[in-house]
Structure formats: C-alpha cells, structure tokens
Structure 1
C-alpha cells in the first residue's frame, strides 16, 4: 500500500511543479485566461474530456449504478449528445466573437454590457458550486483510498488545485489536463477489466444484477427520468470552462473537432464507470454506494497498478475542479469586475484573477465541509446556469439575433419559472432547472421572432 500511496504523492507533486513552472509565462490577465488561441484539436479534446469527467460523472455514476442500476448512465448520454451537437453546430459560431475569451464576453457582444455582467455572475456562481461538489468528492475519495480524514482529504485536494491553477492560470490547467486525461483514460478501463476478471466475467456481473436495475426508469417516473436526462444534457452546457475551450482553439476546425471528439469519448467512459458500479455490487465490496469505486480499487487491483488507478481517480476530481476554478475567476473578474471598472490595469486584473481563484477555492472548502449533499450542491450550481443563460448563449453562437430586452425577459422568465416550480415542490419530480430552461427558450424564441419581424419592417420602409 505504501508504494501505491507513493505513486499518488509523486503525481500530486508533478501537478504542483507544472503549475509553478507554467506560472512563469503568466504576465497578464489574458495569459491567465489562455486567450492566445494556440491549441489544436487533440489538446481541446483531451482538456475538455478531462474537465467534464468529474466526481459526479464518474464516481457518482458508479454509485448510482451500484444502488439503482443503469438510469444515471443512460441519462448521462444526454450530456455526450449535447457536447457533440455543440461541437458540430455551435462551435463554428465562435468566428463571430473574435478576441473574446469568456462566456460573458459573448453575451456582452451579442446583447450588451449588462448581459455580459449578468452571464459572468451566473458563470461564477455555477463554477464555484461545481468546485465545491468536486472538493467534497475529493474528501470522501482520499479518505477511502489513503485513510486520511474527509476534512484532510478536502484540504489536500483543494490545496493542490489552488497552487497550480492560481500560479499557472489556464495554461497550467490545460497542461495538467493532458496528464489527467491520460491517467483516467487508462485507469478506468484497467479497473473495469480487473473487476470483471475477479467477478468471473461480464456475464457473471450481469447475472448478479437485479433485473430492475436494467430499467433506466427504475424507481423514477417517466417525467422524472426525462428531467434527469435534460438536467445532465443542459446543466453544464456552455459553462465557462467548456466554452473557454471553444474560444482558445487555434482555429474553428480545431475547436469543433476537439469538442465533437470529447462528446464521443464520453459515451464509452460513462458505460465503463456504470459497469464499475455494477461490478462493485456483484463483488459486494462495500455497503455504501458512494464508496463503490474507491473500495473496488482497493479490492481487485495489485500493488503498483492500484497506485496508478488511485492517481487516475484523484485525476478525475482534480481535472474538473481546476477548470471550473479558473472559470469562476475569469467569469467574475473579466466579465463582471473589469466591465464595471474599465480603468482597471492589466496588472491589477491579474492580481484579482489570482485572488478570486484563491477565495473561490476557500469557499469551496467551506461548502464541502458544511454541506454534506454533493448532488444538492451540483443542483444549486446548475440552477444558476441553465435556466438563465444556456439558450441566449447558444442563440448568439448560432447567429440568432435578438436585443437586450429579449435577453433579460428570457432570463427573468427562466429564473422565475425555476424558483416557482421548486416552491411548488418540484411536481412530477421534474427539476426547476428543467422547467426554467424551457421557459427561457419559449420567451427568447418569441422575442427573437419579434426582433426579426421588426428588422424586416425596417428594411421594407428603407426601400
């Protein structure tokens, strides 16, 4: 076990070293946000894949499969489908926003300064919430794998991420993503292979699984499953760290191809982590669903390989946390503070970016220690994003023209519908975020249609 722990420690030290080394190239705010657009499709693919494969999409998926079956895995396919669609149809719209490096910048260019500030604020809240959820997952994971207390696990995980992301900015995050992608892409299939071998093959695992577990709706209503599917599909759509990957590609082709590849990669990855949960159940490695994946690692893998897969599991949590941490800092400083304080120098913006990075990490630690519900944190984070911003951002990138009044009317409708639905107790187990996103879409569509008719009338009068 000591050798395995040593592998994890070496991996953590490598990440810290990469951040400190990368920090030498960060001279200004644009360097911190990696706005120089130099990354090709393979880097976009690996970085984006490493970013979205967080605790909820891996450890959480395995836990859901362990406890309820394939429902979560099926719902997560919605995320992969939307990511492919974004890469195919939305990413090319980046050409309309030359020089922009954030979601707030897109909104400001399309709907005005106020819209950019609002999207920046929403992006900050969403990203900070996701970081908090990842940190709680880190505490549980390190507690199981290394035997440290959950509190110590949270502090270790957040400390590592804060060092390399605060010093090195987005450049260090992307460099770390390359290592993390390699580890998770290798480690999860290795774990599944070892688990299936121990259990007697895939047939034995499936035979030990209750028939109800193969029903995606198991324990849910049809409406509740559809809501879960849409939440997974849209909850993180176009969030700041993912959109940043679109904006930093060296050309449109790189951004589009990298995003499509990341979406396609998600399908086998989600299936693998779901099967890991079923294998953990078949082998009875634990009674606690949340511990299914880490307990399986400790049970079925030999020394050395176990250390590699332990590092892969740590990578899963760090890779999501670092991107969202950087996204939170960029959203607040570049999209909210800088537009409201236009005289802010580049040096001060860089200091603010690093300060916000640190403070957000501290807030994430507090959330992880004080709020025990990871899914609750993620749900709150998604509620700050998809009902308010996804539709207007997607429309801007697709070239749908609308004015600022349409934007704010859609945001108000989405937020009000989400809050009202939640106040009613989420009827039919449908989430407020789902209802809010639908309301936003309807109001924005009507407003965009009115704007188009108005433009047509003005052209006719001009003739």
Structure 2
C-alpha cells in the first residue's frame, strides 16, 4: 500500500511536469520561465528546492548526532540566502542577466575565465546536491522493498530527468508547488507524532546528554565555523535562488518570494532536527542508520496509507530539489560555457533550446557516477560547499563591493577561484589536512580572500584600471 500511494504521487508529478512543459517554447523560457512567477509560487519553489531528500534524511541525522548545535548547519543557508536576496536581488533582477557569470562580466567586462570558472564551480556544487538526491532515493527504496540502492538511483534519475529535460524551469517550478505542499504537511505531522511518542518536547530535551543542549554542543567552534561557511556563506552563490529571482514577475515579488520561502525552510529544518533529537532519546542503544530516521518513523507510527503520504513527501523533496539543481546546472553550463564561449552566441533561442535539453540529459545521467562514488548524503553536502566557495568572493565583489569594476583586476579574480578550488579539494581529500579545519571550506575561503585582498591593494592603486578601459581593450 505504501509503495502504491507513493507511485500515485510520482505519476501525478510526472503528469504535471509534462503538462506544464507545453509552455516552454525557447531557451529563455527553459532557463527563466519568461519572468512571470508571483510571490506565492516563488515561496513554494524556494522551499521545495531548499528542503531536498538530503535534508529530509540528513537533518534528523544531525539532530540525532549533535543536538541543538546542528542548527548552525541547518539555519546557515536560510540566513545567507535571505541576505543574498536583500543585498543583490534588485541589482541582479534589474540587469536582466541570466546567470551569475553574466553579472560578473557586466561589471568587469567580458572575459572567458570570469564566465567559465564560476559557472563550472557552482555547477559542481549543485551536482553534489543532485547526487545526494539520487543517494537518498536509493536508500529509501531499499528501506521499503529491500531492492539494491543502485536500482533506486536509476529509478529516481529516470523520473525527474524526464520532465526536466522537456520543460526546463517551468516544469520544475510547477511541480515544486505540488511537492512543497506535500513536503510541509509531511514534516509537520511527523514532527508532532514523534514528539508525542517521545513524551513531549520537555521530556525529550531533558532526556538528552548535557552537551546536546548547548549551541556549541559536541562539534566545537571550528566545525561550527565550517558549517557557516559551507552550508551558509558559500550558499550565496547557490544559483537556483538567483535563477528564481530572475524568473519573478517583478523585483519585489522575487525578493519576498525568496525571503518567505527561506523562513518556511528554516522552520522545517528545525523540526527535522528535533525529530532526530527525539529519536536519540527513544533509542539510547543507537540506530543502525540515523539518515533513515524520517522514513523509519513515518512507517512505524502511522497506518500504511498515511505512511505512504509522508514518504510521498520525502520523494517530493527528492524530485523537487533534484530537478531544480539539474535545471540550474544546465542553465549555467549551457548558457555560459556552450552558448557564450563555445558557440560564441551564434545559436538562436530555438536552436539553443534543443542544445539545453541534450545538456540536461547528459548532466543528469553523468551525475549518477558521483552518487555511486560518494553514497553518503552528508558528505555530498560538504563537497557542495567546497565547490561553491571559490566563486564566492569574486561574486561578492561584483555584486556588492566593486560594482564599477575599478578596484580589482580581472586576473586576481580568476586566480583566486583557481587557487581556492585547488586548496579546498586538497584539504578535503587528505585526511591529515582535513582534520585540521574540518574540511576544505575554510582554507578555500581564506586562500581566495588573501588573493582578492592583494588584488585590491595592488590593483586598486592603478588609476588606469577601470571598467571603461576593460571594455575598450576587450
């Protein structure tokens, strides 16, 4: 019964996805949905994209392992994305650009490195999240049927790739609205049921270890700093939210849609962490796989048909986030690498639409390899932050601190991203280095900051360097 209800939910998503794909006529609609989205739609698509299957599985696991200190990881992204919308939302929307690289190049002048490097780095970050959705789908199907997680990876990929390839952002946003409703109800009701099962909120908290009640908790200050950089500040360059700003019918609708969507995201994230804390209190002997807390209690605390509804919410999270990350990666790589650099803007919008659909298919299938190599949902989260960090400071400069492109030479911006990426990966893959700073995010950020600072000091004193000169020379 559980599987039947979940299948019905999936079929409804596919029907909605393919039906809405009729509105996609050219590449502009595929990437930005004709800029017609209202506040209500943006709230649901922001929320549905933010709470993916990785979060539905990973946040309870964090609450289970770290108590209240897990909120640093969970709330960092909503806080930073709200700041992003407030600080750069109007500028990005008014420029009518398509990608983050468009924004950078509009400030510093067209440059293939400033166009390609940010898009590749941000795409790698989003593909890590996409792989996390694959992994979560495989784990959930394994829990329900005993089937190999690899089978779940393939089934999940086939489902959301199909309508994303055809409809692009329009199909993603329409299905997000349906998935967001299921997701919000599922998280709320499971949270209430688990809290009641644990004897109430006060009883659960009093039954936790002392360090679980502290916001420093068992993780320590360095790890918390890594949380805010990895899941927080680096998310400033998380393109799905910029893309949704660009798809709004007005700048006001875009900014408020993102803000309110992030508020709902933060509340849901806290509820998921509290579910994990309740699981710790009720299972002092430990759970075999803490990432399975949400599906475990969905099945054990409710009738089969209700459990099917809640696990449908989990699959909603998988589909919505995966489709959003897939479409955003396609937009970045298709627009900035294929269209602007390789084809040099010689393709029409209709021709580019065909190209984008092929790119979407290639990216979706190729990401299966990442999910197979890194099955841990939380580890994929960490890798996502590592890849989003290199373009962070250059984007902040272009969007906030150097709007006229007069303070930092372009070469320093490109160098900072290259060195930051190398440093981040090095610290992440070498165990002895990773232990020093809890991964590659902090050293990657520091490396980029130092290079940009040198650029501002030595390049800023060059009075001949300006955006106008770059345009004349370029």
Q: TM-score higher than 0.5 here?
A: yes
- Residue equivalent to 2:396: 394
**Deviation for aligned residue 1:14:** 1.1
Tell me the TM-score normalised to structure 1 length. Answer: 0.91
Pairing partner for 2:107 from 110, 125, 143: 110
Once residues 465 and 337 of structure 2 are traced to their aligned partners in structure 1, the CA distance between those partners, rounded to angstroms, is 35
**Deviation for aligned residue 1:42:** 2.0
Matched, 1:444 2:447: no
Pairing partner for 2:372 from 369, 389, 394: 369
Any gaps of 5 or more consecutive residues in structure 1? 459-463
Once residues 369 and 457 of structure 1 are traced to their aligned partners in structure 2, the CA distance between those partners, rounded to angstroms, is 47
- Residue equivalent to 1:228: 227
Once residues 78 and 131 of structure 1 are traced to their aligned partners in structure 2, the CA distance between those partners, rounded to angstroms, is 20
**Deviation for aligned residue 1:246:** 1.5
Pairing partner for 1:22 from 20, 23, 28: 20
- Residue equivalent to 2:424: 418
Once residues 452 and 158 of structure 1 are traced to their aligned partners in structure 2, the CA distance between those partners, rounded to angstroms, is 48
After superposition, give the CA deviation of every residue in 1:356-395 in whole Å (9 maximum; x if it has no partner): 2112221222322343333333333332221x11222233
Contact 2:179 2:316 survives alignment (8 Å): yes
- Residue equivalent to 1:433: 441
**Deviation for aligned residue 1:286:** 4.0
- Residue equivalent to 1:461: none
Once residues 200 and 399 of structure 1 are traced to their aligned partners in structure 2, the CA distance between those partners, rounded to angstroms, is 51
Once residues 302 and 203 of structure 1 are traced to their aligned partners in structure 2, the CA distance between those partners, rounded to angstroms, is 27
Once residues 368 and 434 of structure 1 are traced to their aligned partners in structure 2, the CA distance between those partners, rounded to angstroms, is 24
Any gaps of 5 or more consecutive residues in structure 2? 467-474
Once residues 433 and 335 of structure 1 are traced to their aligned partners in structure 2, the CA distance between those partners, rounded to angstroms, is 25
Contact 2:141 2:149 survives alignment (8 Å): yes
**Deviation for aligned residue 1:188:** 0.3
Once residues 449 and 89 of structure 1 are traced to their aligned partners in structure 2, the CA distance between those partners, rounded to angstroms, is 25
Structural mapping, 1:58-73, within 5 Å: 58-73=56-71
Go from structure 1 to structure 2 and tell me whether the alpha carbon gap of 1:158 and 1:219 turns closer, same or farther (over 3 Å shift).
same
Deviates more, 1:361-370 or 1:313-322: 361-370
Count of aligned pairs: 455
Contact 1:34 1:248 survives alignment (8 Å): yes
Contact 2:33 2:170 survives alignment (8 Å): no
Structural mapping, 1:29-48, within 5 Å: 29-48=27-46
**Deviation for aligned residue 1:34:** 2.3
DSSP 3-state at the match of 2:53:
coil
**Deviation for aligned residue 1:416:** 4.4
DSSP 3-state at the match of 1:69:
helix
Contact 1:86 1:259 survives alignment (8 Å): no
Contact 2:104 2:399 survives alignment (8 Å): no
- Residue equivalent to 2:471: none
Matched, 1:202 2:201: yes
DSSP 3-state at the match of 1:384:
helix
After superposition, give the CA deviation of every residue in 1:186-223 in whole Å (9 maximum; x if it has no partner): 11010011112222211232233222222343443322
- Residue equivalent to 2:122: 123
Once residues 116 and 333 of structure 2 are traced to their aligned partners in structure 1, the CA distance between those partners, rounded to angstroms, is 8
- Residue equivalent to 2:362: 359
RMSD: 2.4
Go from structure 1 to structure 2 and tell me whether the alpha carbon gap of 1:262 and 1:457 turns closer, same or farther (over 3 Å shift).
same
Once residues 36 and 450 of structure 2 are traced to their aligned partners in structure 1, the CA distance between those partners, rounded to angstroms, is 37
